[in-house]
Amino acid sequence: MANPSFWKGFLKLSLVTCPVAMMPATTQAEKIRFHTLNRETGHRVRAQYVDSESQEPVADDDQVMGYARDGESYVTFEDEELDAVALESTRTIDIETFVEDGSIGWLWYDTPHYLFPNDPVGEEAFAVIRDAMRATRTAGIARLVLYRRERAVLVKPDGKGMVVWTLRYGNEVRPPDEVFAALDATKPEAPLMKLVQSLIAERAQPWSAELVKDPVQAELKAI
C-alpha cells in the first residue's frame, strides 16, 4: 500500500537525483477539534476581516501585507514584491551542505517529515544518498518552499527512509546562555545529589508512547 503524501518532488545531490514524496511525521487526525457554532441554529460561525477603526468589512482585493515600523505606521508589501524575494518553488530538495549528524541542537528543530522514494526507478539513488550520509555520520542542509514559506531543512537517514526536519532561523532562537547567565554555578552537596539520583533510579522506565498520552482527548471521546 502506497504511503499518503502531501508533497512530491526530487531529492538532489550533485548529479544524483531521485523522485521523492514527503508526509508529516506527526498527525492530529485522532484529535477532537472544536468549531464555533451559532447556539440557536447550529450553523458554523464564519470569521470576517474588518477595519480596526471603521469596523467595516474589508474585501480580499483590498487587503495588503504590512510590517509595523514604529507602532503607528506600516510599510506595505504587494504580492509581487513578496514573490520577488521568495525562493522559487522548484520542488527540489537540493542538498548543498553537510554537517555532522547530531551537531544541531534541539532548539533549531521545528517540524519532522518522512521522506521516501516516489518511484521504484529512484529507489537505488535514494538508498545511495541515505546510506552515504549514514556511513559518514552526516546530515544534509537544503532550502525548500513548504507551507507557502521558504524553509531551511535538515535531511537525515532514518531506518529505511529519511527524515526532513524544518529548521528555525537564527532570529527565532533565544541563546540559552543569555537566559541562564544569572544562575548560580555552584555544585550541589553530595548527599543531596545521592538522594535525587536514587529518586530518578526508582522512577526510571523504558520509553513508551503511553508516557505522553493525552488524557483530555480520552475524556472527550468518552463523553
- Domain segments of the chain: what residues? 7-26+86-172, 186-222
Give residues with Cβ within 8 angstroms of 23, minimum separation 6. 3, 4, 5, 6, 7, 113, 114
Residue 66 to residues 49, 70, 86: CA-CA distances in angstroms?
15, 12, 16
Sign of CA dihedral 130, 93, 21, 6: positive
Residue with cell 470569521: 47
Say how far apart CA 180 and CA 85 lie, in whole Å: 37
Assess whether pLDDT exceeds 80 at residue 215: no
Assess whether pLDDT exceeds 50 at residue 1: no
When pLDDT is averaged across residues 133-139 and rounded to a whole number, the result is 97
Say how far apart CA 129 and CA 18 lie, in whole Å: 10
Question: Are 154 and 141 contacting, i.e. CB atoms less than 8 angstroms apart?
Answer: yes
Q: pLDDT per residue over 118-128, tens digit each?
A: 999 999 999 99
Classify residue 170 by its DSSP letter.
Answer: G
When pLDDT is averaged across residues 3-29 and rounded to a whole number, the result is 88
SS3 213: coil
Assess whether pLDDT exceeds 70 at residue 153: yes
Please tell me the predicted confidence (pLDDT) of residue 135.
97
Identify the weakest region by mean pLDDT among 1-5, 20-24, 144-148, 195-199: 1-5
For domain 7-26+86-172, give its CATH number from 3.30.70.250, 1.20.1250.30, 2.40.290.10, 3.30.540.10.
2.40.290.10
Please tell me the predicted confidence (pLDDT) of residue 2.
56
Q: What percent of the chain shows pLDDT beyond 90?
A: 52
Question: Are 149 and 163 contacting, i.e. CB atoms less than 8 angstroms apart?
Answer: no
Report which of 13, 34, 26, 10 is spatially closest to residue 144, judged by C-alpha positions.
Answer: 10
